[in-house]
């Protein structure tokens, strides 16, 4: 599939701007953007399944947590160094995603939502149950000495920013490439009309399985990096809340657009950050903003841009 110059320019441009921002941002916002980039990677992973394949999962926290604990537990209990630990986290996420996909893809619609929710909830409770190793809700801190990746100390804000940027760049470009590929086109077709795609002779089950594994793996990578970059793993990251967050970010930013997850995460993060500076009622503002967006920008921010300004936006 050919990729328009404008499309490539826009997406690479965002990465260049994010790279350059490092040199101008004050320390506080530098930390924020690093966090947003990791969380946006999570949303990018979510978007592949929800935005492009049309499967609404309420259990992505399971993959995020699988990445986080796959990384954290191997560092904590098996003495792994960060690089293999990250890989362990990502592999754990891919395995969990594949396993859940085999079960959950037997269902569709609301049942799919609830099946994913249920298994994620079981995963969350399992983290609590094995509190001896995971320290449950309290979580555990990954010591500074265990966070040196190839001689780079990730506790240094600049190093952390670039690690987050690297993760985001990979996930972002991967999703751009994926949705423009044959495979991604088929996913979009499945979202629009699964019956017809099946009649055309495509194996829709295999495509959805692939989408779920890809989505889960990217989410797990985000979870693994989140734990490593911010030095903490806790059961909260496996709770329902963390399944709903990426859904919100993606819907706000625009489901089924490559830029959407980042825009949504950025918007939501700063909305809460800025309003909590003004008033303690930041949830009120976030809630009102959510309602207003559904009323006035039903396709999310980037979705509106695509609808009104630029039809070809991937």
Partner 1 sequence: MEFGPHLILATLEGAVTAAVLALTAVGLSLVFGVMRVVNIAHGEFYMLGAVIAWYVAQMVGGHPALGFVAALVIAPLVVGALAAAADVTILKHIEYDPERTIVATIGLLYVIQQLTLMTYGPEARPVEAPFSGRVELPWYEWFETLFGMAQPWGWSITSYKLFVIFAAGAVLCGVWAMMARTRIGLLMRATQADRDMALAFGIPVERVYALVFGIGAGLAALGAVLIVPIQQAHYLMGVEPLLLAFIVVIIGGLGSLPGTVLAALFIGLSDGIISVFFSPTLAKILATLLVGLVLVFRPQGLFGTRTA
Q: How many residues bind partner 1 (CB under 8 A)?
A: 40
Find the shortest distance in angstroms from Cβ 110 to partner 1: 7
Query: With the CA atoms of 152, 156, 161 and 162 taken in that order, what torsion angle do they form, in degrees rounded to the nearest 10?
Result: -20
Q: Which is nearer to partner 1, 25 or 128 (CB)?
A: 128
Choose which of 13, 99, 166, 287 interacts with partner 1 (CB under 8 A). 287
Choose which of 77, 99, 281, 310 interacts with partner 1 (CB under 8 A). 281
Q: CB neighbours of 155 closer than 8 A, spacing ≥ 6?
A: 144, 147, 231
Asked if residue 134 binds partner 1 (CB under 8 A), the reply is no
Q: Which is nearer to partner 1, 233 or 293 (CB)?
A: 293
Whole-number Å distance between alpha carbons of 75 and 120:
23
Stretch that binds partner 1, among 68-76, 211-219, 246-254, 304-312 (CB under 8 A): 246-254
Whole-number Å distance between alpha carbons of 166 and 209:
27
Asked if residue 248 binds partner 1 (CB under 8 A), the reply is yes
89 phi and psi angles, rounded to 5 deg: -60, -45
Whole-number Å distance between alpha carbons of 248 and 254:
10
Find the shortest distance in angstroms from Cβ 138 to partner 1: 15
Stretch that binds partner 1, among 16-24, 114-122, 142-150, 155-163 (CB under 8 A): 114-122
Asked if residue 84 binds partner 1 (CB under 8 A), the reply is no
CB-based burial label for 14 (10 Å; 0-12, 13-18, 19+): middle
Asked if residue 255 binds partner 1 (CB under 8 A), the reply is yes
Asked if residue 78 binds partner 1 (CB under 8 A), the reply is no
CB-based burial label for 189 (10 Å; 0-12, 13-18, 19+): middle
DSSP state of 140: E
Asked if residue 196 binds partner 1 (CB under 8 A), the reply is no
Instruction: Go through 86-114 and write b for each residue having 16 or more CB atoms within 10 A of its CB, e for each that does not.
Output: bbbbbbbbbbbbeebbeebbeeeeeebbe
Q: Which is nearer to partner 1, 134 or 180 (CB)?
A: 134
Stretch that binds partner 1, among 118-126, 173-181, 198-206, 210-218 (CB under 8 A): 118-126
Choose which of 17, 145, 295, 309 interacts with partner 1 (CB under 8 A). 295
- Residues 174 and 267 sit within 8 Å (Cβ to Cβ): no
Q: Residue 153 pairs with which residues in a beta bridge?
A: 148
How much helix, strand and coil, in percent to the nearest 5, is found in the chain? 80, 5, 20
Choose which of 9, 196, 291, 310 interacts with partner 1 (CB under 8 A). 291
Q: Which residues bind partner 1 (CB under 8 A)?
A: 56, 103-104, 106-108, 110-111, 114-115, 117-119, 121-122, 125-126, 128-129, 240, 244, 247-248, 251-252, 255, 281-284, 286-291, 293-295, 298
């Amino acid at each position: 599939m050919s990729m328009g110059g404008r499309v490539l320019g826009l997406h690479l441009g965002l990465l260049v701007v994010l790279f350059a921002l490092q040199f101008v941002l004050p320390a506080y916002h530098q930390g924020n953007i690093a966090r947003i980039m990791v969380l946006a990677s999570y949303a990018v992973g979510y978007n592949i399944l929800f935005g492009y394949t049309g499967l609404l999962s309420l259990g992505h926290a399971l993959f995020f947590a699988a990445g986080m604990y796959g990384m954290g537990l191997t560092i904590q209990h098996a003495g792994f160094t960060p690089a293999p630990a990250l890989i362990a986290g990502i592999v754990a996420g891919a395995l969990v995603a594949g396993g859940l996909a085999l079960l959950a893809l037997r269902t569709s619609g609301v049942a799919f939502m609830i099946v994913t929710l249920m298994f994620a909830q079981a995963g969350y409770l399992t983290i609590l149950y094995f509190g001896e190793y995971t320290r449950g809700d309290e979580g555990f801190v990954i010591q500074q000495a265990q966070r040196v990746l190839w001689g780079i100390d990730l506790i240094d804000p600049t190093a952390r920013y670039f690690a987050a940027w690297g993760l985001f760049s990979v996930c972002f470009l991967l999703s751009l490439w994926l949705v423009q590929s044959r495979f991604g086109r088929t996913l979009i077709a499945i979202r629009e009309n699964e019956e017809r795609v099946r009649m055309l002779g495509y194996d829709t089950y295999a495509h959805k399985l692939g989408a779920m594994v890809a989505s889960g793996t990217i989410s797990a990578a985000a979870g693994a990096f989140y734990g490593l970059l911010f030095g903490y793993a806790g059961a909260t990251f496996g709770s329902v809340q963390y399944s709903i967050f990426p859904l919100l970010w993606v819907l706000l930013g625009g489901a089924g657009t490559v830029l959407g997850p980042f825009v949504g995460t950025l918007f939501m993060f700063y909305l809460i950050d800025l309003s909590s500076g003004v008033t303690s009622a930041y949830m009120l503002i976030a809630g009102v903003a959510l309602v207003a967006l559904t009323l006035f920008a039903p396709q999310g921010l980037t979705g509106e841009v695509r609808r009104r300004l630029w039809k070809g936006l991937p």
